Homo-oligomer: A and B are copies of this chain.
Amino acid sequence: MDRDQRFTQLARELGHTFDGEIKIGGNYTPVVRDGDTLYVSGQIPRVGDEVLGVGAVGAQVDLPSAKQAAAVCALRALAFIQRAAGSLEHVRAVPRMTVFVRCTPDFTLHSEVADGASDVLVNVLGPAGVHSRTSVGVLQLPKGAAVEVDLIATLNRP
């Protein structure tokens, strides 16, 4: 099974599809390719019009739900990379991922939330998905989402 197939399977297991997600136009864009580097915009756990995981982790959102939300963010990021690159097979590395966790003042398991996103990257991309990571706890996120994830990927030169 290649990476694109693993991506589709994992998205299906989570009960989601990311077809038709790339919006064209606007002053910012979900992914910018510059040379062989792709910068993916911050992704909230949105599937279609629904945001999965709204609220503060530690209060309205528990740890398993937050990890799942982080996984959906990572899948969205991969969907954008797949479209921009043609195939996830072209990914050389994911050097950086940043995970913003909307949390209560006492919640300190940001790394554990971020593992939900990290696992997706490695499950789909294999060793190329092993990344550096920064996880922080923020006060709020767009649309009240519990998690937001952005990342940088690089592509193999043809």
Contacts and interface: CB of A to CB of B under 8 A. Distances in A.
A118 B27 contact: yes
Is the contact region of chain A dominated by helix, strand, or loop, or is it mixed? strand
A10 interface: no
Interface residues of A, number: 58
Taking the full assembly, how many copies of this chain does it contain?
3
Contacts of A105: 139-140
Interface stretch (A1-9, A29-37, A61-69): A29-37
Contacts of A102: 137
Interface of A: 26-32, 34-35, 37, 39-42, 92-98, 100, 102-111, 114-115, 118-119, 121-122, 129-144, 148, 150, 152, 154
